[in-house]
Amino acid sequence: MIALEILLATLPLVFLLSLLFEGIDRKVHARMQRRIGPPIIQPFYDFIKLLVKENIVPTTAARSIFNASPSLAAASSIVGAAIPLANLIARTGIIGDLILVMYLLTMSSIMIVVGGSSSGNPYGAVGFSRKIMMLIGYEIPLLISVVSISIKAGPSLIYYDIILAQIKSDKCLACAYISSATAALTFLLCISAAVGVVPFDIPEAKTEVIHGPLIEYSGPQLALLKLAKSSTIFSLSLLAFTLFFYFPTIYELSIVLGEIATLGACLLGSLMVMLLTVTLPRTVFARLKIGQAFKTYWFFPLPMAITSLMLSVLGW
Amino acid sequence: MWKIASRSRIKSPWIFHLNTGSCNGCDIEIVAALTPRYDAERLGCVLVGSPRHADVLILTGPLTSQMMPRVVRVYEQIPEPKAVVAVGSCAISGAPFLGSYSIEGPLDRIIPVDVYVAGCPPRPEAIIRGIVTAVKRKFG
C-alpha cells in the first residue's frame, strides 16, 4: 500500500510539472520564433483564470456526457502520468501497469473528443471524426513499439522492469539493440500525434475547425481539458525517456547524490524529449491534412514498428 | 484568493476578434500586434477561435445592420467576466460612415465598450495598450 500513497502524493506533482513543461514549451517555441514569449508560469495563469470563469453549457449539448468528459479526461491523463512517476520514485511496479498507462493516455484523448461530439456543435463532430482517424493512424505503431520493448526487457509488462533491465545490461535499451532503437524512433514519432500538436493538430485545428472538440467548452471545463492535454505531453515524454533512454549513469547518480537526483535527471531527460518531439516540430512544420497525416503514420512508423517487433522476437 | 484570480485574469487575456464591417485595415493591425515583432503573447494574449474561450472581445468597424444581431450574439456567448475593446475610428464614432442607412453604430450604442483605441488604423502598440488597459480596468 506504500505504492498507493506515493501515487496519491505524485498527483499534485504531476499537475505542477505538466503545466511547467507546457510553460517551457511555449517559451522555447517563442524564442525559436525570435519572440520574447510568455512567462514560464503562463499556463498556471491560464489555468486559474479558466477555473474562475463562467461555465456555459450549450442547450444543444448532451448535458451529462458534456459535463463529465473533461473531468474524466483530466483524471485519466493525470493518473496516466502519475503511475510512471510514482513507480520511478517507489522503484517498484505492478504487473501490467504499462498497459494501464497506455490505456489511460488513449482514454484521455478519446474522452476529449467524446465531450466535443456531445456538444451539438458541427465542428465538434468534425473534430471527433478527425481524431478517430488519427487514433487509428498513431495508436497502432505506438502500442507495437511498447510491445517490442517489453519483449526485449524480459518479456515483462511492468514499467519498472524495463528500467531495471536497462540498469542491469549497463546500457540504455535504445543503444543496446537494433529492435529497441527502431521502437524508440517509432515512439518518438508518435508523440506529436498522440498529444495533437501542430503538424498533427488536425482535430483541434484553430483556423480550420475552431478548436474542434474544445469549441463549446468554457471556464473550468476548458481548464481541465487543457490540463489533460499538457499532462499527456508530460506523461508521454517521461515514458519515452525512461523506457528507451534510461542511461545507467542516471541510476548511479542516486548513490552519489541521493534519489532526488535520479528523479531530476529523468525529468530533465523527458524535458529534452518534449522539446525535440513537441516543440521543434511545432515550430518548424505547418499543419498537415488528415489524409497526409494518416499516410505519414501508415507508411513510415507502422512498418518500422512491425520491423522492430519482428527483430525483437528474433532476438536482435 | 481573489487577488490570485484577478492577477491571473490580467495576465492571460484571450482575445476574440470580430469584424463588424471594417475595411480590414484595423484587422491587419490587430494581426500585426500578434506577430513576433510586437509579440502580444508575452503579455499572455492568445488569439482564440471560439468566443467561448475568450476574455477580451476586439471589435473593428462601424457596425453594419447585417452584423448587429451577430455582434450581440457573440458578445453573449463569451463567458463572464469579459472586456470589450473597440479598435479604430469607425468602431468609436462611425467615422466616415456615420449617418449611412446601413450603419447601426457606433458600437457603444449596442454593447458596453470598455476601451476605445483611436486611429485609422491604430498602431499595433496602441492596440496592445488598449487590451492591457481593458483587462486592468475590468479585471483588476
Look at strands B56-60 and B46-47 and give their pairing.
Answer: unpaired
The pLDDT assigned to A158 comes to 84
Among A22, A31, A53, A206, the strongest candidate for a mutation testing the B interface, having the largest count of B CBs within 10 A, is A53
Q: Residue A77 and residue A101: Cα distance in Å, rounded?
A: 9
The pLDDT of A107-114, averaged and rounded, is 88
pLDDT at B97 over 70: yes
The pLDDT of A288-312, averaged and rounded, is 87
Domain boundaries, chain A: 2-314
pLDDT at A296 over 80: yes
How far apart, in Å, are the Cα atoms of B119 and each of A185, B40, B52, B94?
Answer: 53, 19, 29, 12
Which of A154-163, A266-275, B54-63 shows the lowest per-residue confidence on average (mean pLDDT)?
A154-163
Scored b (16 or more CB within 10 A) or e, A17-45 reads bbbbbbbbbbbbbbeeeebebbbbebbbb
Identify the CA nearest to A215 among candidates B44, B51, B3, B71: B51
Which of A241-245, B68-72, B129-133 shows the lowest per-residue confidence on average (mean pLDDT)?
A241-245
Which of A18-22, A206-210, B96-100 shows the lowest per-residue confidence on average (mean pLDDT)?
A206-210
pLDDT at A133 over 90: no
Q: What are phi and psi of B28, to 5 degrees?
A: -65, -40
What confidence category does residue A10 fall into, taking pLDDT thresholds of 50, 70 and 90?
confident
What confidence category does residue A218 fall into, taking pLDDT thresholds of 50, 70 and 90?
confident
The pLDDT of A46-65, averaged and rounded, is 87
Alpha carbon of B62: minimum distance to chain A alpha carbons (Å): 25
Alpha carbon of B139: minimum distance to chain A alpha carbons (Å): 11
| Cβ neighbours, 10 Å, residue A127 | 29
What confidence category does residue A2 fall into, taking pLDDT thresholds of 50, 70 and 90?
low
What confidence category does residue A76 fall into, taking pLDDT thresholds of 50, 70 and 90?
very high
Task: Extract the C-alpha cell encoding A195.
Answer: 498529444
Among the partner-chain residues A36, A45, A56, the one whose CB lies closest to the CB of B42 is A36
Q: Do B79 and A48 touch (CB under 8 A)?
A: no
Among the partner-chain residues B36, B44, B53, the one whose CB lies closest to the CB of A38 is B44
What confidence category does residue A72 fall into, taking pLDDT thresholds of 50, 70 and 90?
very high
Scored b (16 or more CB within 10 A) or e, A286-315 reads ebbebeebbebbeeebbebbbbbbebbeee
Look at strands B83-87 and B14-19 and give their pairing.
Answer: unpaired
What confidence category does residue A24 fall into, taking pLDDT thresholds of 50, 70 and 90?
very high
Q: Domains in chain B, ordered, with CATH? A: 2-139 (3.40.50.12280)
Q: With residue A203 as reference, give the H or E element that holds it.
A: none
pLDDT at A180 over 60: yes
A284 interface with B at CB cutoff 8 Å:
no
Which of A121-135, A170-184, B4-18 shows the lowest per-residue confidence on average (mean pLDDT)?
A170-184
Amino acid at A316: W
Q: Do B50 and A55 touch (CB under 8 A)?
A: no
